[in-house]
Structure 1
């Protein structure tokens, strides 16, 4: 078996990366497609990931006949404490008359029942990046115009989903197929905080006086898309906003831009600086309170409180004409974060949905302009 892992070294400890359920699904689908075409056993399969790394994965439980092929990949989460580590991710591939690659969720893959997620209501909980990976890898083996159906199965998915937040998010019957990079990076708290600190030090050594904080890949991509900015001063802070702000003060940065999805950034609008959902689950409370201050009627406030995600709540906000909530939240995020820093750092904020810039500080564009000069 090829070693697909890379490592983070810190204080003599070696933390191993893994690969996502999305990568597993794409690899299983590609291997099954290859077996269906060649009518032979496939023992290993190579795929590309959005991270830019190639994976060569062992194929488990391969079976095929003239009409379908099926196999699985074993999920490896590396040193990340992931509940899905070691699960079997199956793909079954069959030919179909239409020209598309149709991807569906089978046993153990959840189904979306609430608005506000990246997947529409009624569809299998297979996120857009894994969906694209599966389509592309299958097409490497079975070119257009031959149609293919791919069914992803997680035999232990339904049982494991009860130990996740999926039911609260409106995903029923199983787990989600996830991953924006295809790679699982270790989430050990101390190791992650050490890595964040190291990145701060590197950016400081490069001479930057301003830094961009994003929770993860989504925030970075949104900044690149909406502001055409690709500086070297991005830091992914995960849930550690307070820790990152402390470092901004300690290293004497002049300005910080905090950018990301409203589901994360609404929390510092209520004075919360560790944003993990297990610790801080007050998104709807903060949103409802601020909408009440703007005069939203009580029946609509009740609707907001009953939403499972901020994306779902945004449809009500737009319907009722309360978009002024977004600049209000930006102002409160700025105020709380600057107070947290004892006004020693100038804070800027860009607040996004999954595909829109909702609101920003007036000074954001000036910050980018200065950095690019």
Structure 2
């Protein structure tokens, strides 16, 4: 069995420990993660995908009431999401899956749709905005990542095709988003007024002790392994190192490295990796995020120094940007 989200080939012994067919169905469709113990953890839906569901329900409801919608996630998997819609207003509740620390869990996403001549997307109350320019966003721009925006626009386009409209204006709001955003890392990265609409795959990955053990087991069982920190790193690492087993470790870099006894590469975006090497990398720089810092000449020089001086013994470190370009290599 293969996890359709990560591409990980699940060992047969893990599959044999699963107690029910329903749980195996969750895994085969991407909605569940199978751990080494046989426990299945349910993936949640990202803020971007939740917004897409509300938007699709709103547009479809311009024709008739809606109780659920199917949306195409950025990872290419189509899922059915509970979402209500009537008279151009759609709603969906954020499902965190088996991820208890998700601050956005249970938030109500609302979309209001009005017929128009083209597709127009507005960010309403509860969606944060950037207070300064960054390498990817300009001041005042809503905090909607490109994969999340594409997911929302795809959902709207599908709904328009279904109801035979040529265009629509959709405003998405998040009830309670302002308070929730203040409790996240958003203020530290220059986003205020609400949450961010994110989601590289469309799924929220569950995490608990079982899944951490599975991550370490995957590292231990590999002959050559790439440890990466996020979905973008996962995709890029598979392209850069096709002969290696690529394992997503998130912020558990230290645990993953300790579990490895083979040739190991640490590959991913600069944020978590450079902070793992030096937690104080931003001290005195005036920058709020590592991504902003390494976009400067000073930050690039500092990154090269860190890769030369602080590489863990036997571990090659490869830093990439969001376009897949290698911007740092300890080799």
**Deviation at 1:117?**
6.3
- TM-score (norm. length: structure 1): 0.73
What are the equivalent positions in structure 2 for 1:103-118 lying under 5 Å apart? 103-116=121-134, 118=136
Contact conserved, 2:226 with 2:244, CA < 8 A, in 1? no
TM superposition shift of 1:233: 0.5
Q: CA deviation at 1:212?
A: 0.6
1:242 counterpart = 2:254: yes
Question: For residue 321 of structure 2, what is the aligned residue in structure 1?
Answer: 353
> Cα–Cα, structure 1 residues 151 and 237, in superposed 2: closer, same or farther, change >3 Å?
same
For structure 1, the 5+ residue unaligned runs are 271-279, 289-304, 339-345, 363-373
Normalized per residue, the structure richer in helix is 1
| 1:327 pairs with one of 284, 287, 304 | 304
1:154-188 CA-to-partner distances (Å, cap 9, x unmatched) read 01101112211111111111111111111112122
- Take 2:81 and 2:256, find their aligned partners in 1: how far apart are those partners? 36
TM-score normalized with structure 2 length: 0.82
Question: Is the 8 Å Cα contact of residues 330 and 351 (structure 1) preserved in structure 2?
Answer: no
Change (3 A) 1:115 1:354: farther
3-state SS in 2 of match to 1:104: strand
The question of whether the paired residues in 2 share the 8 Å contact of 1:350 and 1:360 is answered with yes
Corresponding residue SS for 2:104: coil
* Separation (CA, whole Å) in 2 of partners of 1:325 and 1:173: 33
Give 1:24's match in structure 2, choosing from 34, 39, 50.
Answer: 50
Sort the Cα spacing of 1:327 and 1:146 in 2 relative to 1 into closer, same or farther, 3 A: same
1:196 offset after TM fit, Å?
A: 0.7
Query: Alpha-carbon deviations, 1:243-284, whole Å to 9, x = none?
Result: 111111xxx31x2111111111112332xxxxxxxxx5x330
| Change beyond 3 A, Cα 1:27–1:284 | same
- Alignment correspondent of 2:60: 34
Counterparts of 2:248 and 2:228, CA distance in 1: 5
The alignment partner of 1:324 has SS state of: helix
1:284 aligns with 2:282: yes
Q: For the structure 1 residues 18 and 325, does the alpha-carbon distance in structure 2 shift closer, same or farther, using more than 3 Å as the test?
A: same
| Distance in 1 separating the partners of 2:217 and 2:247 | 10
Corresponding residue SS for 1:196 = helix
Alignment partner, residue 77 of structure 2 = 53
Distance 2:156 2:178 in 1: 26
Q: Which residue of 2 aligns with 1:213?
A: 227
Post-superposition Cα deviations, 1:323-372, rounded to whole Å, max 9, x if no partner, equal 433322222341xx11xxxxxxx22111123334212133xxxxxxxxxx
8 Å Cα contact 2:182/2:192 also seen in 1: no
Cα distance change of structure 1 residues 105 and 117 upon mapping to structure 2, 3 Å threshold: farther
Q: Where does the alignment leave 5 or more consecutive residues of structure 2 unmatched?
A: 1-25
Aligned to 1:313: 293
Structure 1 residue 220, shift from structure 2 partner: 2.1
Asked if 1 retains the 8 angstrom alpha-carbon contact of 2:35 and 2:210, the reply is: no
